[in-house]
Chain A
């Protein structure tokens, strides 16, 4: 089966499966803050001209319908944001509420319309999980800074304006120590002590944090404190350790839940092992 970038005629190109996967990679399981592609929830991507169908399965049929809903809606919106895609159809398989979710997402209903017996919308639950994801990403970012030798008080006082993308578009003067690092991932330069000292750190954990901090509305101005308590307040250097320990705790919680989900998925795969060829038939 070959994939074509374009059918040669005028108009937007036909999307490739790889491009669709890239978009889906931006969709996270809200409870685990991990990509649904990485978690192997996506079973099939079918492309028919400007229409894309995505099939996915969750670790268990009992996964929270609210979480399943968020992933289905996000997958739909991400795929439809791709040039050349007119409509995305989402098919959630083997879930106790697959019917309501598939109908609701594909007919563009709200959660409340799709689940009349639920109490309202999913926005509050989503905001809650996003906030936890931010706290965990902050933990990773702060760990990277501690490893680079930053003092807690300095970390607590950092602002987005102190960050500079190293070797970014305007300059490309990679210094020797960065190059000799052997790590070719992007790095950020952070200036401290009024710019007297510049330290470089891996960009990935900081960028991941920035993305979530902005998404949750915790970080709006580039001169505000970069890192926060779980409640979104600036960090008092005195309580830095406690805040960081809470980040670690949130990370343990998230990865433990990931362990439960992985286990449930393995158990389900064992059970449906002989029927994996066609998910439709595995449904009772």
Chain B
């Protein structure tokens, strides 16, 4: 657990991947472009001495991932968010099955999400059922800009997408993570436009819609939608590493998020391996809002807010009992491997605070 001002903070990294972008796995030039683009984001927002080589970045493997996440106790749990890209990568870039390799080895430490693509039709619905039966996935990660044959993307408010959301609702898959991030591809179709979340969120009030990357570069559209739909959440991937080399911007973005969404609907995520929680968690925890922003927005990045954003909000969405986890982690495999037993050996149980 992260120690902050003498207090323990339970950190759930709500956005992690175990990907394979090795040259052998790439079957379309888009696959190479995609990983190179990711790598640009990695180097842009990673301290110089923590940057990886492109070779390490292509495939880091399960072992390294466990060490990066838990080795220095930066993170207590991770939520896998798959990105299939099966047109680009022969075995997929980061599928549920690939992530399951690790999630099944340490089920207490990972949440395994699935995915769907409404363009797959009935086959896709069957696959979603299969994911539910095999892995009991509590959520899905959706990539609306994914290329599939001639199609360059889809929308969450498509009729077909609604069929899949209904299926999620029927199966009890409650957490819908939609990637809404920087425009990389495809061409002029603005497939990461967040407007489609609005209709989907109001049509499925029983589901939670977590907009990853807080919609950047559509933070304005995202916040406006989230202000009106209380089942819309923001995932901090991409915004979080601003804390490291654009602290003023981090302060401003977070202030906006807290002003529009409040402190209960923002979830920390590293987007590992885009960024590594082993340094990122500390950067975000130790970040301070600028005085001018605190005055302007009337919000604070205080311990209570940090606890919610860094773990409690995700725990709420995924029904994770943090106190039970703390007890469980006193002697699980990860704690034994990295000698973390003391981190979880708190004498007094934390008071329930709501």
Contacts and interface: CB of A to CB of B under 8 A. Distances in A.
Interface of A: 31, 60-62, 64-67, 69, 96, 111, 115, 117-122, 125, 128, 132, 135, 245-246, 248-250, 252-257, 259-260, 263-264, 266-268, 270-271
A255 B256 CA distance: 13
B182 A267 contact: no
Contact of B40 (A60, A65, A245, A254): A60
Nearest to B259: A245
Given A118-B152, A263-B245, A267-B43, 15 more contacts: A62-B33, A64-B184, A117-B150, A117-B152, A118-B186, A119-B189, A248-B256, A252-B252, A252-B256, A253-B219, A256-B217, A256-B219, A259-B249, A260-B217, A263-B45
A118 B220 contact: no
Most buried by A among B37, B188, B253: B188
Of A128, A253, A257, which is in contact with the most chain B CB atoms at under 10 Å from its CB? A253
A167 B190 CA distance: 45
A125 B37 CA distance: 22
B187 to A, nearest CB: 4
B188 A256 contact: no
Given A118-B187, A118-B188, A120-B188, A259 B217 contact: no
Nearest to B37: A62
A256 B216 contact: yes
B208 to A, nearest CB: 22
Contact of A96 (B33, B45, B152): B33
B33 A66 contact: no
B38 to A, nearest CB: 10
Interface string B32-72: 01001100110111000000000000000000000000000
A38 B2 CA distance: 42
Contacts of A111: 188
A249 B33 contact: no
Contacts of B259: 245
Interface string B251-264: 01100100110000
A268 B188 contact: no
B246 interface: yes
A115 B224 contact: no
B223 A249 contact: yes
A205 to B, nearest CB: 18
16 contacts: A31-B217, A61-B37, A62-B185, A117-B150, A117-B187, A118-B187, A119-B189, A121-B188, A246-B220, A249-B256, A252-B253, A253-B217, A253-B218, A256-B239, A256-B253, A263-B245
B187 A62 contact: no
B183 interface: yes
Interface residues of B, number: 37
A65 B217 CA distance: 16
Contact of B188 (A96, A119, A255): A119
Interface string B235-278: 00011001001100100110010011000000000000000000
A263 B219 contact: no
Contacts of A60: 37, 40
Nearest to A250: B220
B44 A263 contact: yes
A66 B188 contact: yes
B43 A256 contact: no
Interface of B: 33, 36-37, 40-41, 43-45, 150, 152, 182-190, 216-220, 223-224, 238-239, 242, 245-246, 249, 252-253, 256, 259-260
A111 B246 CA distance: 35
A114 to B, nearest CB: 10
A103 to B, nearest CB: 15
A129 to B, nearest CB: 10
A42 B189 CA distance: 26
A268 B189 CA distance: 25
A61 B29 CA distance: 14
Given A111-B188, A249-B260, A267 B40 contact: yes
Nearest to A265: B44
Given A263-B44, A267-B40, A66 B187 contact: yes
B246 A118 contact: no
Given A62-B33, A263-B246, A267-B44, A119 B219 contact: no
A268 B216 contact: no
Nearest to B182: A260
A249 B224 contact: yes
B188 A122 contact: yes
B37 A132 contact: no
Contacts of B252: 252, 255-256
B235 to A, nearest CB: 15
Nearest to B45: A263
A271 B33 CA distance: 16
Contacts of B150: 117
A125 B219 contact: no
Nearest to A245: B259
Nearest to A128: B190
Contacts of A125: 188, 190
Contacts of A268: 40
A116 to B, nearest CB: 10
A232 B189 CA distance: 24
B220 A62 contact: no
Contacts of A119: 152, 187-189
B188 A65 contact: yes
B40 A62 contact: yes
A20 B252 CA distance: 36
A271 B53 CA distance: 12
B249 A255 contact: yes
B181 to A, nearest CB: 10
B262 to A, nearest CB: 15
